[in-house]
Amino acid sequence: MIIEPNKAKEYMSLLDEGLQVQQAGIDVSVAEIAVFKSSGKIDFDNSDRKRADIEALPWPEDKTLKLSPGPYLVTLNETFKMPRDAAAIMRPRSTLSRCGATIATSVWDPGYEGRSQVLLIVFNEHGLEIKKDARIGQILFFKMDRPAKSLYRGAYHKENLQ
């Protein structure tokens, strides 16, 4: 069951509740955009895991980046503190899709805390102009039928909280 957004907003910080709280979910926004500078590495048990190196793009004076086609790592403005009895997934906002771009995301597990990152993929051959704080995704929170037996404490727990 989807948790009503006015209840789910307790699980995250917001820039502007009036703009971000929607009918079924809550919009998330762009704090930082980075480019990939190296390959990453994944495996089964994380013993060889290596995150790709990234470099943040500086925001110009008008706070608008002109992105070429390709992948970007976006750090969100919002911080999350997931309760024991909820999980979440995120979908791109429809305007992002209509501009020829999308986001790829993961699952927000019970117990996760942090400022999440999502993959922005620009498919439009003409690129994408994106302003700082643009709303790019909508997160939906789901009530679990029982509280999780254990909470998320993985490598990305409490990420990007500085």
pLDDT tens for each residue of 57-68: 999 999 999 999
As to burial, measured by CB atoms within 10 angstroms (0-12 exposed, 13-18 middle, 19+ buried), residue 155 is exposed
pLDDT in tens, 136-149: 999 999 999 999 99
The predicted pLDDT at position 155 comes to 87
Q: Please, what's the b/e burial string for 134-148 (b: 16 or more CB within 10 A of its CB; e: otherwise)?
A: bbbbbbbbbeeeeeb
Cβ distance 18 to 93 under 8 Å? no
Upper half-sphere CA count for residue 120 (Cβ side, 13 Å): 33
Rounded mean pLDDT of 16-37?
A: 97
Euclidean distance between CA atoms 10 and 82, whole angstroms: 9
pLDDT digits (tens, 9 = 90+) for 81-93: 999 999 999 999 9
> Residue 162: what pLDDT?
73
Whether the pLDDT of residue 161 is over 90: the answer is no
Position 7 confidence tier, pLDDT thresholds 50, 70, 90:
very high
Is the CATH number of domain 5-38+62-143 3.30.429.10?
A: no
Helix extents (H) in 9-155: 17-20, 94-98
What pLDDT digit, counting tens, does each position of 92-150 carry?
A: 999 999 999 999 999 999 999 999 999 999 999 999 999 999 999 999 999 999 999 99
The DSSP 8-state label assigned to residue 18 in this structure reads: H
Residue 152 tokens, joined: 């998320």
pLDDT of residue 71 exceeding 90: yes
Q: How far is CA 45 from CA 107, 154, 157, in A?
A: 18, 12, 17
Residue 10's pLDDT is what?
97
**Model-level pTM?**
0.94
Q: Are 36 and 96 in contact (CB under 8 A)?
A: no
**Burial classification of residue 61, based on how many CB atoms lie within 10 Å of its CB (0-12 exposed, 13-18 middle, 19 or more buried):** exposed
Query: Per-domain residue ranges for the chain?
Result: 5-38+62-143
